[in-house]
C-alpha cells in the first residue's frame, strides 16, 4: 500500500515565488509536505538550478502549474495567441525537465476569465467547435512534445466563472479523449468540482486512468476539513480510480469576516498558518491511507 | 404546521420576462409553484397592472429580485452611482407595492462583477471601510422607505466571483446588523453558500430571525436533488431558524456536455423542463414538511 504524495502550492506562502522565496522550501517539508507545486516561473523569476538544488536538499519533489492568459491561449481565434499558447506549453515541459518534474497541470486550453464584460448570448455552435478544434490541435502538439520529454500534461477544468472551455470533469475528459495522447490526462480540483460536478466521487471514478494530477481544496478554499466536502468519500474515489499520483493542497482563502474584502483574489498570508497546513495534510493523508487499505 | 411557499425565478422560463411572457404564469402554477420570483422590471418591460391581474388569476403570489449594476451601485465611490443605487431600491419598493409583493431581494449593495480586469492587490482598509459605510448609509435610506411601504428588503451575499462586498452569510449579517432596520434582513442562496460558507446548515441557523428570503439551488445550479447539497440538513436548518418565508428555485444550469459552452451565462431553455421543476419542488416541499414536523 502506497498512498498518495501530498504537497502544497507555492502561492500558499508567496506570490510571486522567486529565488528569494526558495528558503521557504524546508518549511514546507517541516509542515509535512512531500512536494511543492510551483507555478511555472516566468523568465527570470526563479533560478532553475538553485531551485533544483534547494528542492533536493529539502527532500521535496515538485509538480508544475501552468499559467495561461489571453496572450497565450490555445482557444484563441487569434493565431498569434494560439501559437504563443502552444509555445508556452512547450516551455513548461522544458522547465519541468530542468526541475525534475514529471507533471505540468492547469487550464492548459487557455481562455481564462473570458466573461469580463461579455453579455449573455446564444452559443454559436460553429464558433464553439472551432475553438475546441484549436484547443485540441494545440494540445496534440504540446502533448507530443511532452511525451518526447517524459512529461505528462494535466488538463484542469475550472469553474464557470474562470473559463468557458472546460467546466465539468466530463468536459475535461472529452478534450483529453479527443486529443488521444498518453502524455495528456485530466487533473481535478475539488474546489471547481464542488461548483460544477453533480457527484464529486463519481466524477473522480469516471476520470479513472485518465487522472494524472489532483488538487484537494475545500468548498470555500479554506483548509481541508474546515468546510463541507466529504473527504472520506473523495479519498475512496481516488483509491477506486487507482490514482496513486500527487495531491496538492491550495488553502489560500485567508478567512476574513469584514465585508468588502475580495475573497476571489489572492492575498498574502497575514500570519504563520503552517500548523493548519500540517493538520489538514495529516487529515487527508490518513483519509487516503484508510481508503487504500480498504481496497 | 405551515411549511414554506415554493416558487420559481422567472429566468427559468425567459429573460427578459416581459408582458408577452405573462402567459407563462399559469404554467408555473401547474408545475406546483406557489409564487413566482420576478426580476424587478426595467421601465416599460412589464405592464404592472396586467401582471398583478395575471398573477391573481393564476393563483400565484410574487417576490421581487433587484438587479444592480455599476450605474446603480450603493458601494460606488461615485456619488451619482451611489445615489442611483438608492433611487433604484426605492423604485423596487414602489414596484413591489404595485404588484402586491412584500419582499425585494438581491445583492442590494451593488458592486457586481467588480473583478473584471483588476489585478490582485492588498486590501486598502480605509477604502474598504468607506465602501461599507456607503453601502450601510444607502441601505438605511432604502430600508426606511421600504418600512414605510410595508416591504422588506433581503440582502443576498454572492460568491467571490460575483462581488467583493458580501460573500459569506456572516458578511451579509454584519451589514444587516449595522443598518439595524426591521425592514432589512438577509437572503440566502445555497448556490453561493456552497462556495463560501463552511457549514451551510450552521449559517442558516446563524441567520435565524434575520432571514427574510431563501433561494434553494444545487451546487451546480441544476435541479434540486441532482447535485451534492444535503437538502435534509438544509430543510432542518430552515425549520430550526424558524424561517417560514418563501423558497425560490432557480435551476437554470441547462446541462451541456459540450466543452466550450459558457455555463456561467444565462441560456434559454432548450426544451420543456416543467416535469423536472415539478419533481424538484415536490422533493424540497417534502423535505421542508418533514423538517417542520420534526420540530
Q: Give the pLDDT of residue B121.
A: 75
* Interchain contact, A266 vs B120, CB within 8 Å: yes
Which sequence positions of B are flagged as catalytic?
156, 250
HEC string for chain A = CCCCCEEEEHHHCCCCCCHHHHHHHHHHHHCCCCEEEEECCCCCCCCHHHHHHHHHHHCCEEEEECCCECCECCCCCCHHHHHHHHHHHHHHHHHHHHHCCCEEEECCCCCECCCCCCCCCCCCHHHHHHHHHHHHHHHHHHHHHHHHCCCEEEECCCCCCCECCCCCHHHHHHHHHHHCCCCEEEEEEHHHHHHHCCCHHHHHHHHHHHEEEEEECCCCCCCCCCCCCCHHHHHHHHHHCCCCCCEEECCCCCCCCCCCCCCCCCCCCCCCCHHHHHHHHHHHHHHHHHHHHCC
* Interchain contact, A259 vs B197, CB within 8 Å: no
* Interchain contact, B118 vs A265, CB within 8 Å: yes
Q: Give the pLDDT of residue B113.
A: 75
- Out of A116, A165, A263, closest to residue B160 by CB: A263
Neighbours of B266 (CB within 10 A): 12
Residue A135 burial (10 A CB sphere; 0-12, 13-18, 19+): buried
Q: Give the pLDDT of residue B2.
A: 67
pLDDT tens, A230-270? 999 999 999 999 999 999 999 988 777 788 888 877 888 98
To test the contact with chain B by mutation, choose from A259, A265, A267, A269 the residue with the greatest count of B C-beta atoms within 10 A, namely A259
List A residues 255-294 in contact with B (Cβ-Cβ < 8 A). Answer: 257-268
Question: How far is residue A232's CA from residue A213's CA, in Å, rounded to a whole number?
Answer: 19
Question: How far is residue A182's CA from residue A143's CA, in Å, rounded to a whole number?
Answer: 8
* Interchain contact, B120 vs A267, CB within 8 Å: yes
To test the contact with chain A by mutation, choose from B133, B229, B259 the residue with the greatest count of A C-beta atoms within 10 A, namely B259
pTM of the model: 0.96
* Interchain contact, B228 vs A199, CB within 8 Å: yes
Nearest Cα residue in chain A from B201: A228
Neighbours of B153 (CB within 10 A): 31
CA distance B175 to chain A (A): 7
Neighbours of A74 (CB within 10 A): 28
The domain segmentation of chain B, as residue ranges, is 6-293
Question: How far is residue B183's CA from residue B228's CA, in Å, rounded to a whole number?
Answer: 34
pLDDT tens, A144-203? 999 999 999 999 999 998 899 999 999 999 999 999 999 999 999 999 999 999 999 999
Which sequence positions of A are flagged as catalytic?
156, 250
Segments of chain B scoring below 50 in pLDDT: none
Nearest Cα residue in chain B from A269: B122
Q: Give the pLDDT of residue A118.
A: 62
C-alpha cell at B101: 409583493
* Interchain contact, B195 vs A194, CB within 8 Å: yes
Length of chain B: 295
Cβ-based contacts of B171 with chain A (< 8 Å): 257-259
Q: Is the pLDDT of residue A271 over 60?
A: yes
- Out of B118, B198, B264, closest to residue A160 by CB: B264
CA distance A53 to chain B (A): 31
Q: Give the pLDDT of residue A82.
A: 98
Size of interface A-B (CB pairs under 8 A): 147
Nearest Cα residue in chain B from A127: B260
Q: Give the pLDDT of residue B281.
A: 97
List B residues 149-188 in contact with A (Cβ-Cβ < 8 A). Answer: 159-162, 164-168, 170-172, 174-175
CA distance B283 to chain A (A): 17
Is residue A109 within 8 A of residue A135, CB to CB? The reply is yes
* Interchain contact, A195 vs B219, CB within 8 Å: yes
Cβ-based contacts of B120 with chain A (< 8 Å): 265-267
CATH number among 3.40.50.2300, 3.20.20.150, 3.40.50.720, 1.10.3720.10, domain A6-293: 3.20.20.150
pLDDT tens, A92-103? 999 999 999 999
* Interchain contact, B164 vs A262, CB within 8 Å: yes
List B residues 26-85 in contact with A (Cβ-Cβ < 8 A). Answer: 75
List A residues 227-246 in contact with B (Cβ-Cβ < 8 A). Answer: 227-228
Cβ-based contacts of B168 with chain A (< 8 Å): 257
Q: Is the pLDDT of residue A117 over 90?
A: no
Amino acid at each position: 500500500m502506497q498512498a498518495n504524495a501530498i504537497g502544497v502550492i507555492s502561492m500558499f506562502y508567496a506570490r510571486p515565488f522567486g529565488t528569494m522565496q526558495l528558503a521557504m522550501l524546508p518549511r514546507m517539508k517541516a509542515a509535512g509536505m512531500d512536494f511543492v507545486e510551483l507555478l511555472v516561473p516566468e523568465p527570470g523569476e526563479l533560478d532553475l538550478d538553485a531551485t533544483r538544488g534547494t528542492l533536493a536538499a529539502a527532500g521535496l519533489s515538485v509538480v508544475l502549474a501552468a499559467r495561461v492568459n489571453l496572450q497565450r491561449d490555445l482557444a484563441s481565434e487569434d493565431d498569434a495567441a494560439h501559437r504563443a499558447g502552444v509555445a508556452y506549453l512547450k516551455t513548461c515541459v522544458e522547465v519541468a525537465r530542468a526541475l525534475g518534474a514529471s507533471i505540468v497541470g492547469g487550464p492548459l486550453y487557455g481562455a481564462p476569465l473570458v466573461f469580463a464584460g461579455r453579455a449573455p448570448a446564444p452559443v454559436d455552435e460553429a464558433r464553439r467547435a472551432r475553438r475546441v478544434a484549436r484547443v485540441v490541435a494545440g494540445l496534440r502538439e504540446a502533448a507530443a512534445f511532452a511525451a518526447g520529454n517524459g512529461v505528462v500534461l494535466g488538463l484542469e477544468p475550472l469553474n464557470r466563472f474562470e473559463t468557458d472551455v472546460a467546466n465539468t470533469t466530463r468536459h475535461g475528459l472529452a478534450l483529453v479523449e479527443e486529443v488521444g495522447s498518453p502524455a495528456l490526462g485530466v487533473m481535478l480540483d475539488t474546489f471547481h468540482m464542488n461548483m460544477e460536478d453533480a457527484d464529486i466521487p463519481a466524477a473522480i471514478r469516471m476520470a479513472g486512468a485518465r487522472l494524472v494530477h489532483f488538487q484537494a481544496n475545500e468548498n470555500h478554499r479554506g483548509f481541508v476539513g474546515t468546510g463541507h466536502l466529504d473527504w472520506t468519500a473523495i479519498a475512496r474515489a481516488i483509491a477506486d480510480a487507482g490514482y496513486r499520483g500527487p495531491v496538492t493542497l491550495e488553502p489560500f482563502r485567508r478567512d476574513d469576516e469584514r465585508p468588502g474584502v475580495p475573497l476571489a483574489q489572492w492575498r498574502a498570508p497575514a500570519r504563520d498558518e503552517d500548523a493548519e497546513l500540517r493538520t489538514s495534510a495529516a487529515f487527508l493523508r490518513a483519509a487516503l491511507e484508510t481508503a487504500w487499505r480498504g481496497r
